[in-house]
């Protein structure tokens, strides 16, 4: 009996190559992955890979764009800022969204870290295309709060980097560096705590209770100390 050969459209074949490339690049890095490995895993001729992507660098960039477009980080940031609420609610919500998204899929983080270490052109291109606007969007929000007299007069862009740096680094510690194996934190608690810490340095007047302090008793149990 003759077997039926499945024929893929050009779009489907391109998506198949991207799916395989994403998996390999995220596991092995840019330098550690060859187009031959990608073509072998995708079960296509290597020439077909270059028919869809002129170079390995453009393939890697297409992988990053695909992950960004599926995550929509700038759109989610805009939505979180527009929903409103008091500052603690806004920044805790923003932090939780970032942490949950990254906990569900660390692929993009791995791709970006590999590009930063192995291919500076790709890293710089990513920053110019996506990251700079993301930081600027949050900086604009902070700038408005400063103009309203609610936040201290500080550099809005550095303030934005400070908040996002705390959130993103916590995500790296937990998801990439293995911190979750030793300490598993509740996302809502983390985002609210980090937002409180950041706001303590940002509010024009201290209008927020300090974050909970957790201590260990002699028997090993945890106790929360809160001034709320």
- Residue 4: DSSP 8-state: P
CB atoms within 10 A of CB 168: 16
Structure confidence at residue 204 (pLDDT): 83
Q: How far is CA 34 from CA 20, 28, 45, 55, in A?
A: 12, 10, 13, 11
Q: Which CATH architecture has domain 72-210?
A: Orthogonal Bundle (1.10)
For domain 10-64, give its CATH number from 3.30.70.20, 1.10.10.10, 2.40.170.20, 1.10.10.60.
Answer: 1.10.10.60
Residue 221 has phi, psi (to 5 degrees) of -80, 155
The domain ranges of the chain are: 10-64, 72-210
Q: Is the pLDDT of residue 196 over 90?
A: yes
Collapsing DSSP to helix, strand or coil, 33 comes out as coil
> Global pTM?
0.78
Q: Is the pLDDT of residue 227 over 90?
A: no
The predicted model gives 1-7 an average pLDDT of 47
pLDDT digit string, tens, across residues 132-180: 999 999 999 999 999 999 999 999 999 999 999 999 999 999 988 988 8
The predicted model gives 20-49 an average pLDDT of 94
In DSSP terms, 225 is beta-bridged to 213
Q: Is the pLDDT of residue 212 over 70?
A: no
Contacts of 175 (CB under 8 A, 6+ apart): 102, 103, 106, 109
């Amino acid at each position: 009996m003759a077997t039926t050969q499945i024929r893929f459209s050009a779009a489907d074949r391109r998506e198949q190559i991207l799916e395989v490339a994403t998996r390999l690049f995220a596991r092995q890095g840019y330098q550690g992955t060859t187009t031959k490995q990608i073509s072998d895993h995708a079960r296509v001729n290597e020439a077909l890979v270059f028919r869809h992507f002129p170079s390995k660098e453009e393939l890697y960039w297409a992988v990053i764009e695909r992950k960004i477009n599926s995550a929509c980080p700038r759109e989610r940031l805009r939505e979180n800022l527009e929903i409103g609420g008091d500052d603690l609610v806004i920044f805790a919500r923003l932090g939780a969204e970032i942490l949950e998204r990254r906990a569900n899929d660390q692929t993009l983080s791995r791709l970006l870290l590999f590009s930063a270490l192995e291919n500076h052109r790709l890293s710089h291109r990513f920053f110019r295309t996506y990251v700079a606007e993301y930081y600027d969007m949050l900086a604009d929000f902070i700038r408005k709060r400063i103009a309203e007299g609610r936040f201290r007069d500080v550099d809005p862009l550095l303030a934005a980097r400070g908040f996002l740096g705390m959130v993103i680094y916590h995500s790296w510690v937990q998801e990439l560096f293995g911190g979750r194996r030793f300490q598993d934190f509740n996302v809502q608690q983390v985002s609210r705590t980090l937002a409180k810490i950041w706001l303590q340095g940002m509010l024009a007047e201290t209008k927020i209770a300090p974050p909970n302090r957790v201590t260990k008793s002699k028997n090993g149990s945890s106790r929360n100390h809160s001034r709320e």
